[in-house]
Amino acid sequence: MTSEWPRSSIRASKAIAMYYRWQRALAMALFAAATFGFIAAPAQALVNGNLNCGTKTIPRYTFEAGQQVEINISGSCTVTRRFPYGAALNQLITLTSGSRQPRFSIINNYTATTLPEVPLGSNTGVCLGAGSVCKEAKVGTVLPYNLTLKGTAPAAGNYNFHFQFGVTSINWMDYAEWIFELPIIYTVTAPACSLSSVNSATLNFGSLSSADYASAKQTANISVTCLSAKTADLVLTSSQTVYSAAAGLSYTSLTGLFLQAQWADTASAVTLNATRTMQLAKGSNTVAISFVPYVLTQAFPTGTFQNQYTLTINYR
């Protein structure tokens, strides 16, 4: 059964205003008589039952320490009492365990913006519904929501926090309710894989002549230790402009001289900015990439050169 806003609301608000004026007059009279008194205004209970959103359950999550955490929460609500100007979003996070627990950002995926933490009865100017535009929502209107809680997993341990998400009717602030109040529980484990070599290295080609170019090669060996077998996605990027991604060629700081990146295990060119998938075994693994000076003309440049590469390893 649905209901609309009470027709007597305006008259009631006038009566309340008169009641307050009467209180102020009484307080002044008591003060003049050298007696202090205070009469509290009657509490205004929040009116719920404005939406039908069903129930929401969240699974228990497991993350690795240092991992970027993203918890998506989405659904929809059906309006059961009209929102004349829109249903403003309200949200709160309360940390309930784990002293090292990070603060999570609440992202509205419709606008890709961070929502402020505010209690019920607040007008954030961002409303329930696709596009998050604040406008009238009539009875029977279906209003979706799509949120992501973002943070960085702390040290290994068990953590939980309380997430509340609700709405307040704009200009009718007593009409407000939580859509859901969820305990978010997650476990953080030690990283499954870690670098067992240095995270940066300098490769020095020394002094090269034109006769050395064809045979000159420097290899970077990256050691990765895993607690269990994993599938890894590897991407190599260059700080210099790429000449040919498929051929693994990028410019260097010396005009006319290029560097070619090669996978040492296959002697094939690394496709720059593209993903190579490989298997990492339990225990120690080595990812090796070689770099070879390369010229495209008969003229051999002279001078010093440099380039910088970044290898990103994502495992699952």
- Cα 257 to the chain's mean position, in Å? 41
Give the residue carrying structure tokens 């009631």. 12
| Helix (H) / strand (E) containing 15 | helix 9-32
Residue 209 to residue 121: CA distance in whole angstroms: 75
Q: Beta 230-238 vs 309-315: how paired, if at all? A: antiparallel
| Token pair in block for residue 150 | 């973002």
User: Is 40 buried (19+), middle (13-18) or exposed (0-12) by CB count in 10 A?
Assistant: exposed
In contact, 224 and 195? CB cutoff 8 Å: yes
Mean pLDDT over the full length of the chain: 84
The predicted model scores a pTM of 0.60
In contact, 87 and 137? CB cutoff 8 Å: yes
CB neighbours of residue 241 within 10 Å:
8
CATH superfamily of 51-189: Immunoglobulins (2.60.40.10)
For residue 95, is pLDDT > 70? yes
Residue 285 to residue 276: CA distance in whole angstroms: 16
> Domain 193-315, CATH 2.60.40.1090 — does that match?
yes
Fold match, 51-189 / 193-315: yes
Residue 107 to residue 104: CA distance in whole angstroms: 9
Spell out the domain ranges in the chain: 51-189, 193-315
Residue 93 to residue 164: CA distance in whole angstroms: 6
**4 φ/ψ angles, rounded to the nearest 5 degrees:** -110, 175
What number is the average pLDDT over the span 58-84? 93
Residue 152 to residue 68: CA distance in whole angstroms: 5
Residue 268 to residue 247: CA distance in whole angstroms: 9
Q: What is the pLDDT of residues 155-203, one digit of tens each?
A: 999 999 999 999 999 999 999 999 999 999 999 998 888 888 888 888 8
In contact, 168 and 88? CB cutoff 8 Å: yes
pLDDT for 66 equals 86
Residue 129 to residue 75: CA distance in whole angstroms: 10
Residue 64 to residue 187: CA distance in whole angstroms: 8
In contact, 128 and 85? CB cutoff 8 Å: no
For residue 16, is pLDDT > 90? no
For residue 27, is pLDDT > 60? no
pLDDT for 10 equals 28
